[in-house]
Amino acid sequence: MRIFCTRSGENRLIIESNSLIVLNDLLSKLSYRSTLYHINTGDLATFQFKNHEAVFPIAIKHPLITVLYDMGTAPSSQVTITTKTFLRYEQLKVLLDSIRKFYSSIKVIIADDSLKPEPIRGENIQHYIMPPAQGWFAGRNLAVSQVTTKYFMWVDDDFLFTEKTKIEKLVEVMEAVPELMIVGGTVNGNQFHFSLIYEEGKGTEGGCLHRKSDGKFHSVPGYPQCSLASGVVNFFLGRIDAVQRVGFDPKLLRLAHSEFFMDGLGDLLVATCDHVSVSHQPRARNDHYTQFRYPGKDDSEFKLQLHFFKNHLKCIKYG
């Protein structure tokens, strides 16, 4: 048997042997080690034998540090409820009362960018005052940044908890299928799920994003009441580390929801379930709030401009 080692800096190793057994034994002991530091890259190793050649892709990744959460047994140690409020204190107080009816000790985090903030007091309530009218996604970022539990439940400030709002049932799904990062429920029976299909462009050309309303994929294994989707209604349980990794674009002030799931496409595994629901309070007339809630054409145009630039798109299709 002969082994030829190439000079330093070269990347070839030649092994010759008359014994196939010896050759296989030696090859089984060969190991690969990258000489360049990188946290996420790859390499190609080529094996040649007579007229045959095989190429082996090698992933080079730094191992991740494990992050553990003390889950406990009570929902209060597993989930934090988060919401964003603006000029709707009456609705917010009704929401808080309904939460306390079913979850007496769960922590509630409120991001508030109202023009004239009012105090919100109560045990296990964290009320964060923002500069006025900072917007929908800025408030979401603030709220989720203060979560210390493994999961958070996002709710609108005019929702209403009922006997069907079983947070622990969504936790069960997430724990049973750890690849899931967001699981949505229903609001007054409306799941509002959608699918996203992205077609990459050629060369430097931007891609196309297709958003299909009511779109979903197959059911979640073991949970036929849940199906995989790309986006869900504004009532969902999220894994805090995954959601913080994607984040909410604070440039989007009022017209925003699907955009979070678009930014997380390919990173967030999402499901929609119909066995957990929250109710919606009756619509209350608030002319001051309405002035901000329903923006004009400029906001819609800005959102599309942001999409096309940030996500490098040539087209967006809604269906």
**Integer Cα distance of 275 and 165 in angstroms:** 9
Q: Is the pLDDT of residue 266 over 80?
A: yes
Query: Mean of the pLDDT values across residues 281-309?
Result: 78
pLDDT for res 104: 94
Q: Is the pLDDT of residue 182 over 60?
A: yes
* Selection from 153, 160, 132, 187 nearest residue 83 by Cα: 153
pLDDT for res 96: 97
pLDDT for res 4: 55
Q: Residues 201-254: pLDDT tens digits?
A: 988 899 999 999 999 999 999 999 999 999 999 999 999 999 999 999 999 887
Q: Is the pLDDT of residue 1 over 60?
A: no
Q: How many residues does the chain have?
A: 319
pLDDT band of residue 293 (cuts 50, 70, 90) is low
pLDDT for res 10: 66
Q: Is the pLDDT of residue 8 over 60?
A: no
Q: Residues 63-73: pLDDT tens digits?
A: 888 888 888 88
**Integer Cα distance of 254 and 258 in angstroms:** 12
pLDDT for res 297: 78
Q: Are 160 and 218 in contact (CB under 8 A)?
A: no
pLDDT for res 16: 80
Q: What percent of the chain has pLDDT over 90?
A: 62
Q: Residues 126-159: pLDDT tens digits?
A: 999 999 999 989 999 999 999 999 999 999 999 9
| Prediction pTM value | 0.85
What domains can be seen in the chain, in order of their start residue? 2-61 (no CATH), 75-318 (3.90.550.10)
pLDDT for res 52: 87
**Integer Cα distance of 282 and 156 in angstroms:** 13
pLDDT for res 23: 82
Burial 119-137 (b: 16+ CB within 10 A, else e): ebeeebebbbebeeebbbb
**Integer Cα distance of 173 and 157 in angstroms:** 25
